[in-house]
Amino acid sequence: MKFKTLSSVSVMALVLSACGGGGGDINIAPSNRVGDDNSVVNNGTDTGSNSDNPCASYEMDGSQVVGFLSGSDCIYDTNFVDLDQPLMVDLTIPSIPGVHIFQGSLVVGQNYTSDADMSAAGITQGGDGAVLTIEAGQTLAFQSSDDYLVINRGSQIEAVGTAVNPITITSVSDAVDGTVGAEDVSQWGGMIINGFGVTNKCSYTGTRGVDLALASECHVAAEGKAGAGQTNYGGDNDADNSGTLEYFIVKHTGALVDVGNELNGIAFDAVGSGTQVDYIQAYSTYDDGVEMFGGAVDISHYVALYVRDDSIDIDEGYIGTFDYALVIQSETDGNRCVESDGIGSYSSKDQAFIDDMIARGLNSSATIKNLTCIVSAEENGTHDPGQGLRIREAHFPTIQNALITTAYSGDEKLGDDDYNYCVRIDNEGQQAALDGDLIFEQSIVACQDLVDSDLEGQSTLAWLDANSNDTQQTAEAGEDPTASANANLQILNGFYSLPVGDMVINGGPSTVVPTEGRSYIGAVSEDDNWISGWTFGLQETNSDQSLWFE
C-alpha cells in the first residue's frame, strides 16, 4: 500500500511546530465555536460551516465538533478526542483521499471502575455505549507511542474493510512522512479492546458455560497508561459484542509503558464471541501481535509479520478459536509464535486455586487450527530467542493442522534448551497431554530443536509422533524446505503450504490427514490464497522489503 504524503498545508504546520520546539507535533489553533445555534467547533481554521468539510464530526452540547481539513488529510486535535476526552457519541470516520491524523489517543466510550457507575450510565453489555465506524479503505495515523486506540466496555468498533480496500491503523511517520523502516516499531501505541467476557483474574461462582456468575465486581486494569489512560475489562458475558474487524491492519505499534506493561498490536481484553474478527494483520510490533486476556472471541485469517514478542499470546482463561493464522518472524527478531498461559498471575497462585480453575473450566482452552509458524532461529531478539509454541500454566488447547518450522534458518544452538525449540509443554499441560485434555494432532513440526520438555518423564517427541503428527529434525545450518532437489523435506513454497499429497517428511510422504476435509496443513496455500491483495509485506506489489527467506 502506498500512502499519501502530507499536503502543503500540513507540511507547513509540521515545519512551524518544529521551529517552535514542539518536537514535530502538529500544532493546530484551539477549537472554537461559531454562532449560538447549530454552531461548529472546528479543529483549525474557522469556516463557520462544515458543509464543505469531509472530516469526521459529532454533536456535543448542541455544537458540532469537526476535524480540521488540511489539503486531502483530516486532522483531529486533543479537543476532538483524547485519553481525558473520550467519545461519548457515535462517530464515523468517513472516506477521504488522504489520511485521518490524530494528535492524541482515540478513546471510544467512557471507562468505568465500578458497577454503580456503569449502571448509572446504562452500560451493561456491548452496544450500549458509543460506536466508532471506520469506512473501508481508510488510514488512521497517530503521532507517537503515547497515543493509542481504545474501545471501552459497552462500546463497539465497526471497521469493515475489503480485500481491495483494507483499513489501516498506523503512525504519522509511516502514513504521512514515510520515514519508517519496514521493521520499525513503537511509532504509535497500539489498539486495546475491552470487553465484558470472562477473565480468571476475577472471582466467580459456578462453572463456565453452565452456571457461572460473578462473585464480586470485575474491573481488571488493562495494559496502558495510568491515570486518565487507565482502562478496565472483565465480566461474565462470554457472548459480549465489541463490534467487527474485517480486512484490518495495525502497523508499527508498541510501547514499553512499564515493566510487564507493554502495548501490543491489538489487545483483546475479555472480548466476547459476539465480536466478529476476520482478516486482520499485525505488522511490525514491539510486543505481541495479538494478546488474548480471557474472553471467547474467535479470530480467523490472521497474519503476524515482524512481531518482536509473541505473535499469538493467550492468557487468563481465553476459550476462543484461531482458524487460519500465518506467522512469519523477522530474520533477526521475534520470540514465540504462540505463548499460551491458562491462568493469570499463575506464579502467585497455589495448587488448590489452580485445580479449582481447571475444574470449573476457567483456565484457557483455546482452539488453534490451520496455523503456519515460520520461526527465525535467532538468539538475541528484543525479548527472547525465536521459538515455536510454548504451552504452560494450565492452558489445555486443541491444536490441529499446524505447520511449525525453523528449517529456513537452522539453529546453531543445538542442544541448548534455552533457545530455538518448536514445541514446549509445561506445568499441568504435561499431564493433560497424557490424559487427552491437551490435543496436538495432524500437524507438522520440522525444526532443529523439535521439543524442549518431557511429559511427566515421558518423551514429548514420542507423544507428538503417536498423535498423528509428522516430525523431522532439520539441518543445524538450515535447509530449504521448498526445493524439489531436497528429497528429504518438502513442505513449503515460500510461505505457502504444499498440497499435503506433495509433502515430503524424512524423505517420505507425509502421513498427516488434515481435519475437516482440508487439502493442506498450515495457514495458506497457493490454491487458497486468502492473503492476496489486502495484506502488507507478503507480496512484492505491497511491501517495503522482501521476506528474508525468499
Return d(Cα 264, Cα 383) in angstroms, integer: 13
What's residue 222's pLDDT? 94
What's residue 411's pLDDT? 81
The enclosing H or E element of 370 equals strand 367-374
Q: How far is CA 417 from CA 5, 377, 438, in A?
A: 48, 12, 22
CA terminus-to-terminus distance, the chain: 20
Return d(Cα 159, Cα 172) in angstroms, integer: 20
Q: Collapse the DSSP code of 300 into the 3-class scheme (helix H, G, I; strand E, B; otherwise coil) and give the result.
A: strand
What's residue 484's pLDDT? 83
Residue keyed to cell 490441529:
400
Question: What's the number of CA atoms in the CB half-sphere (13 Å) around residue 44?
Answer: 22
What's residue 416's pLDDT? 63
C-alpha triplet 497, 338, 411: angle, nearest 5°: 70
Q: Which of 180, 209, 182, 184 is nearest to 197 (CA)?
A: 209
What's residue 33's pLDDT? 32
Low-confidence stretches of the chain (pLDDT < 70) are 1-51, 257-261, 413-418
pLDDT digits (tens, 9 = 90+) for 196-218: 999 999 999 999 999 999 999 99
What's residue 262's pLDDT? 79
Q: Which of 502, 494, 550 is nearest to 526 (CA)?
A: 494
Return d(Cα 35, Cα 63) in angstroms, integer: 9
pTM here? 0.91
- Per-residue burial over 252-272, b = 16 or more CB atoms within 10 Å of its CB, e = otherwise: bbbbebeeeebbbbbbbbbbb
CA 531, 532, 534, 538: dihedral to nearest 10 degrees? 70
CB-CB neighbours of 165 under 10 Å:
16
Q: Report yes or no: 295 and 274 within 8 Å, Cβ to Cβ.
A: no
What's residue 418's pLDDT? 63
pLDDT digits (tens, 9 = 90+) for 120-139: 999 988 888 999 999 999 99
